[in-house]
A and B are shown apart, each in its own frame.
Chain A
Amino acid sequence: DIQMTQSPSSLSASVGDRVTITCQASQDISNYLNWYQQKPGKAPKLLIYDASNLETGVPSRFSGSGSGTDFTFTISSLQPEDIATYYCQQYDNLPRAITFGQGTRLEIK
């Protein structure tokens, strides 16, 4: 099974800061890597799919990059409404397999 290592597990930053979260796969997953935002008591929301594609309606301050085993999620200028937990998620089709990262809790400093 493919393992996903997401870091850091928690992060404190100030409004306007650039924030970076990383996710490392235990083997090559090409670009099959997605990023989600989850606010307390709510269902997760898809932000980035296939490593670098911004989901419709998601602000451009969110971005993703990477391929193979190493991936990065970036918020270019942190806003108060970005306080949430962020998850990476990998998928494979042959055979079908899906794994979430452990999550990164983002707080305002």
Chain B
Amino acid sequence: EVQLVESGGGLVQPGGSLRLSCSASGFTFSSYAMHWVRQAPGKGLEYVSAISSNGGSTYYADSVKGRFTISRDNSKNTLYLQMSSLRAEDTAVYYCVKPLGEWQDAFDIWGQGTMVTVSS
């Protein structure tokens, strides 16, 4: 079964840091770009970041550029999102998502999501 399982969410103070992890199984992780998408409470979906299959290319939404870093360890089938200088507006459920193809960014597999709350 193809599965994505996020972890690492929690409560963090403004200005703090947090690292999210996403463990993948059931598919050849190293063959796919991977992405993060978030959803603030009661709001719509917001795209966050992408990383190519070999980790050599990354992309960030303007809202997180310079504060978040996406990375991956293909030997561990794991995707990461290092978040720093966190703000209240970063409060959201963060989803790890798999696309249909390296350059076909339709997201066919979603994790269950991990909640990040930025508050003092």
Q: Which residues of A contact B (CB under 8 A)?
A: 1, 32, 34, 36, 38, 43-46, 49-50, 55, 87, 89, 91, 93, 95-103
| Contact size range, B | 20 to 34
**A44 and B107 within 8 A (CB):** yes
- Find out whether the CB atom of A49 lies under 8 angstroms from the CB atom of B104: yes
Give the secondary structure class of B's interface: strand
Asked if residues B59 and A87 are in contact (CB atoms below 8 Å), the reply is no
Given A100-B44, A102-B44, answer yes or no on A46-B107 (Cβ-Cβ < 8 Å). Answer: yes
Separation of A87 and B30 alpha carbons in the complex (Å)? 28
Closest to A53 in B: B106
Which chain B residues lie closer than 8 Å to A50 at the CB level? 104, 106
**A43–B112 contact, CB under 8 A?**
yes
Q: Do residues A49 and B110 form an inter-chain contact, with CB atoms below 8 A?
A: no
Q: Point out residues on B near A: beta carbons under 8 Å.
A: 35, 37, 44-47, 50, 57, 59, 62, 95, 100, 103-108, 110-113
Cβ contact within 8 Å between B103 and A93? yes
Please classify the interface of chain A as helix (H, G, I), strand (E, B), loop, or mixed, using the class held by over half of its residues.
Answer: strand
Contacts of B108 in A (CB 8 A): 46, 49, 55
For the complex, give the distance between the alpha carbons of A36 and B100 in Å: 14
Nearest chain B residue, comparing its CB with the CB of A9: B44
User: Which residues of B have CB within 8 Å of A101?
Assistant: 44
Q: Bound state CA distance, A1 and B62, in angstroms?
A: 10
CB–CB A91/B105 < 8 A: yes
Q: Can you give 8 contacting A-B residue pairs, CB < 8 Å?
A: A38-B45, A43-B111, A44-B107, A55-B106, A87-B44, A91-B105, A96-B105, A103-B45
